[in-house]
Amino acid sequence: MGPNGEQVGIVSIHDALKLAQEADLDLVEVAATARPPVCKLMDYGKFKYESAMKAREARKNQAHTIIKEIKLRPKIDPHDYETKKGHVVRFLKAGDKVKVTIMFRGREQSRPELGFRLLQRLADDVQELGFVESHAKQDGRNMIMVIGPHKKKAEAKAEKAAAKAQRGGEEPSELETSEQEAPIQEA
């Protein structure tokens, strides 16, 4: 290819180098395995810089998936279960994966079905937010299950930013204004 992107055709190496020198550009081999090899006249430094900038932009926009972990016991209190379930819901809404671990102690190890039932119940409770990526499996004293979110991390971030922007446009509530106006008393 020529300096303006036009096709030059099959040219000897000597003529191609001469063309590159006249245009003050570099002769870069694009497809070495092709017969004859395909070369392009370009500013190689500029090409390297632009490709580095594209790679940096791609990394900046990339969402990192994080695995959050919740630990439970087989004989968990209903209120404690609801609290832990709330944490799982929060993590899934944020677009993170959740690793749920049930720890067995002593005689509890002889009753793995209790842990399995608890994990199934949790999976059913958060079914609208996430899906079971890896089913419950016993690993020594622990039983582990991984729940993945239905929506991606980037979608969750965009949704959160939109909700924050919408709240930013609203006026503060009565409670917030009364707290702001209250004088500070010294003791």
Tell me where in the chain the CATH 3.10.20.80 domain(s) lie.
13-61
124 to each of 28, 118, 147, 148, how far by Cα in Å?
58, 10, 11, 13
Predicted pLDDT of residue 179: 47
Do you know the residue count of the chain? 187
**pLDDT single digits (tens) 164-177:** 888 876 555 554 44
Give the pLDDT confidence of 128-146 residue by residue, as tens digits.
Answer: 888 898 888 888 899 999 9
Sort strands 67-72 and 97-103 into parallel, antiparallel or unpaired: parallel
Q: Is the pLDDT of residue 105 over 50?
A: yes
CATH, domain 67-153, list 3.40.50.620, 2.40.50.100, 3.20.10.10, 3.30.110.10: 3.30.110.10
Where in the chain is CATH 3.30.110.10?
67-153
Q: Are 122 and 85 in contact (CB under 8 A)?
A: yes
**For domain 13-61, is the CATH number 3.30.70.100?**
no
Give the global pTM: 0.55
